[in-house]
Structure 1
C-alpha cells in the first residue's frame, strides 16, 4: 500500500478560502480593537464629569465637604 495521501493536494484548493476567512477575522478583530480604544478614550471624561456631579451633590445635600471614599 502507498503511504502518500491525496488529501493535502485536495486541501490546497481551500487555501484561498482559508486566507479570505483569516483576513476577514483579522479585520473584524482590528475593528473591535479600535472600538475598544474609542470607548476607553471616552471613558475618562465621563468619569471626571461623574465625579464632579457627585461632589456637587454631596456638597449640597450631604452637609458640605465632599469626602473621597
Structure 2
C-alpha cells in the first residue's frame, strides 16, 4: 500500500529508496506479528500442562480434589 504524501518531496529521486525502505519495514513487522502469533499458540498447551501438574500436586499434598474457580 503506497500512501501519497500531501507535501512534495524536494528530491523526488529518493522516492524509490523510501518505497523500498517502507516495504522492508512492513515485511519485518509482518514477520514479528507471525512470531507473536506462534508464541501465543504455544502458550495454551503449556498452560494446560501447568494446570494439570498443579491439580495433581493439590490432590496429593493439598488434601483433596482441586476445585477450579
TM-score range, shorter chain: 0.7 to 0.9
Unaligned runs of 5+ in 1: 1-7
Q: TM-score, normalised by structure 1?
A: 0.80
Q: Which of the pair is proportionally richer in helix?
A: 1
Using CA pairs under 8 Å that are at least 6 residues apart, name the structure with larger relative contact order, 1 or 2. Answer: 2
Q: TM-score, normalised by structure 2?
A: 0.80
Identify the residue that residue 29 of structure 1 maps to in structure 2. 29
- Indicate the structure (1 or 2) with the bigger Cα radius of gyration: 1
How far residue 11 of structure 1 moved from its aligned partner, in angstroms, is 2.0
